[in-house]
Structure 1
Amino acid sequence: MDTGTHFVMGMALGGLATIDPVVADNAFTAQAVMLGTIIGSQAPDIDTVLKLRNNAVYIRNHRGITHSIPAVLLWPLLITGVLYTFMPEANLLHLWIWTFIAVFLHVFVDIFNAYGTQALRPITPRWVALGVINTFDPFIFGIHVAGLILWGFGSDPALTFVIIYVFIMAYYVIRFREHYKVKKAVKLHIPGARKIVLSPTMNYHRWKVAVTTKNCYYVAMAYNGYVTVLDKFDRTPLPESEILDAAKHDKNLSAFLSFSPVYRWEITEVKDHHEVRFIDLRYRSNGFYPFVAVVKLDQNLKIISSYTGWIFSEEKLRKRMKVLPE
């Protein structure tokens, strides 16, 4: 989920924690738990700072080790230890319990996005991405904000957030049913679909669709159960190519390939250099595919420059690659 949603979820958990008599009856514990749930709800996303280094490092590591099983166990210990140092009057056990719930819930809700997490590391490095809930879901964010406002006006936080989380659980069930229906509709519309990747949008009824068949890739949009194919590409296996082999050594392309489950590729010769481009098919926007990895190599197959990330025009890509327009 996005940072804002994780934040309001942390505050909501602090309110829900008052269902615990130890928290409700001890002001110091209640204050510490509120801090613990807010910090715990944000802690796994500390790897966002990697974006300051470069996109390749960020793409390869974001929602990776910081969302892993060891991290889910270690974050609460670290946060609880720091808070208890400054607030020794708080109940240590119950502070740890609610901080653990906040960290666990952060990682848990992230697996329902199309981006996903490596939540099962170190058991497996596989990305767990169910593609049921958009990274920012207006309903989930809005109902949390509504609960916080009601709390601010004097409603009982425990009862308020118990009711809200019952509604949210029901909402998740409904989204899974919608996901199933869309997938079924895609299979009917595109026979022979071997792999279907669904990406929810902020519009409840609209889904981005990427389909792999034996010979083709399809990019489609599903709306209210109706599937519209927007693009179709031949599915060409990666060739035995010295150019491609050289490009694969680039850190940007390597990061892209570690993350993207469905993409097409291009190898072109531009004046005095070669260009290798991989294009993720999940994120079509206004006829453009903004998530790419591009590697530029000279005639001796030495990497000149490269880029991976979100680019919404060729002009901006050329500036990133420091290549003058042809």
Structure 2
Amino acid sequence: MDNLTHGLMGLALGALRRPDAADSPLSATDKAVLLGCVLAAELPDLDNLLPSENSVVHALQAHRGLSHALVFTPVIAGAATLVAKGLFRSARMGPVYLFSLLSVAFAHLLADLWTGWGTRVLLPFSAQRWTLDWTMVVDPWVTLPLLAGALWAWLRREQWRRALLWGLVGTVAYLGVRVSLQTVLSHRVRGAWPAAERVQVFPAWLSLTTWRYVVVLPSEYVTGTVALGSAPHEQRRWPRPGPEAVPASARNLPTVREALAWARFPLVSTAPQPEGGTELRIGDLRYHLGGEPTLQFILELSPQGELRAARLDRGGSAASLLRRWRTPEPAPGAPTPEG
């Protein structure tokens, strides 16, 4: 999730604690709890500052690493508590630490978990990426209720707690709607493709009722969109890559293995480079627009199979992606789903 949403959610979670005195100014403990919750919600993303050899390694290893793991939450909460306690020296440490711990778990780890990228919450015991696929990484409708509550709390300070809690209620209600839609639309796609090995629906840009889907058949992927009140709309099919899609000399490269482990519906392609060597592209169809992948890792390999460079291609600028989203291409041929 984006950092604005993390911080606002941490602030709202801090309001779950009843102030020491309802009709009096905030105590030092009250202030420290709110500050600790905001800090705890933001601190895990300091791993963005960690150095890495290339953008692929940074995206897949440095970011959402150990700082986003459950075992590390007491450390993050402890750091947030120490900072808050340092600023409000008379604050009681117990409530500050308890709510900071709550904020790390729910305002950051859970908020990242419900996006599509995936979070390795079980590190160091498992490197598997877990995701709930409820929202995009940036979803204005998650953020706006929290932001409205924070602004209301700032303008009407005597009602600050009620304002923050109502903002949290609005966000939780929106997430509940998305979970329900995900369930309904998943069943609808599954009904259209009963022979599929696997069916998955994913959030679409700036849309509540329209989602993207990927259907896994024995030899190919089917991509498309599905909306509330309409049947699944197929956009494109892609062949499923076999083991031979990745050059044998590159299969054991750590960056290649990491990219393949990240991709739940991988697309793999290779192309010779003018100066020799191979360009290897690894994409994931959960990030598709009009059936075309938008996010890919591009790895440049030497003739000996060594990694020369690696970068993350997001499919163009935000403006170009928005134009593609507004004018989706028609499905080529629109074949009939298998029954």
Whether 1:204 aligns to 2:204 is no
- CA RMSD in angstroms comes to 2.6
Distance in 2 (CA, whole Å) between partners of 1:251 and 1:22 is 56
Asked if the contact 2:150/2:167 (under 8 Å) is kept, the reply is: no
Matches within 5 A, 1:1-326: 1-17=1-17, 19-21=18-20, 27-50=27-50, 54-61=54-61, 62-105=63-106, 106-154=108-156, 156-201=159-204, 202-224=206-228, 225-239=230-244, 244-270=247-273, 272-285=276-289, 288-299=292-303, 301-303=304-306, 305-312=308-315
Identity %: 20
Give secondary structure in 1 for the equivalent of 2:289: coil
- Name the TM-score, length of structure 2 as normaliser: 0.81
| 1:46/1:144 CA distance change after superposition, 3 Å | same
| 1:104/1:273 CA distance change after superposition, 3 Å | closer
Moved more, 164-173 or 69-78: 164-173
Give secondary structure in 1 for the equivalent of 2:248: helix
Give secondary structure in 2 for the equivalent of 1:89: coil
User: Which residue pairs with 1:320 in the alignment?
Assistant: none
Asked if the contact 1:56/1:255 (under 8 Å) is kept, the reply is: no
Structure 1 portions without partners, runs of 5+ = 314-326
Distance in 2 (CA, whole Å) between partners of 1:269 and 1:140 is 44
Query: 1:251, CA displacement in angstroms?
Result: 4.3
Give secondary structure in 2 for the equivalent of 1:82: helix
Distance in 2 (CA, whole Å) between partners of 1:295 and 1:163 is 47
Query: 1:41, CA displacement in angstroms?
Result: 0.9
Distance in 1 (CA, whole Å) between partners of 2:76 and 2:240 is 43
| 1:77/1:304 CA distance change after superposition, 3 Å | closer
Aligned length: 309
Query: 1:103, CA displacement in angstroms?
Result: 0.9
Query: 1:107, CA displacement in angstroms?
Result: 0.7
Distance in 2 (CA, whole Å) between partners of 1:286 and 1:215 is 21
